[in-house]
Amino acid sequence: MPAPTQDEAPAVVARPPEFPEAVPHATTPAVGSLNQLLDVSVTVTAELGRIRLPISKVLHLGLGSILELNRTTSEAVDLLVQGVPLARGEIVVVDDRYAIRIKEIVDPKMKK
């Protein structure tokens, strides 16, 4: 085949790609298995309440400052897993540590 001149475009040969057939390995866990995740550590947070402050007020905080949160003492605290609500409960003391007694499991899709 002669070389194309400057006015002629080279011929393009297109063909479908060839991929090897995907074959599952015998040691691969079944799809949907959560066993691989059971040892993964996540951050669990207990949230007593929140407050929004302008930066000017944050800069004035110091020792002895008091911030009133958006919850009363009778309201449940939120238990968050990786920032996602999981449960609500009450604060209790076990030995010399704070703990939470879960009173309600919440649907993370439900907004407050």
Task: Say how far apart CA 104 and CA 112 lie, in whole Å.
Answer: 14
Helices marked H in 1-112 — which ranges?
55-59
What DSSP character marks residue 64?
Answer: T
Closest CA relative to residue 88, chosen from 74, 75, 102: 102
Question: Model pTM?
Answer: 0.59
Task: Say how far apart CA 81 and CA 92 lie, in whole Å.
Answer: 19
- CB within 8 Å of 29: residues ≥ 6 apart: 35, 36
Structural domains present in the chain: 41-105 (2.30.330.10)
Q: Tens-of-pLDDT digits for all 112 residues of the chain?
A: 556 566 677 788 888 888 888 777 666 555 667 888 889 999 999 999 999 999 999 999 999 999 999 999 889 999 999 999 999 999 999 999 999 999 999 986 765 5
* Torsion (CA) 4, 6, 11, 12 in degrees, nearest 10: 140
Give the CA radius of gyration of the chain: 30
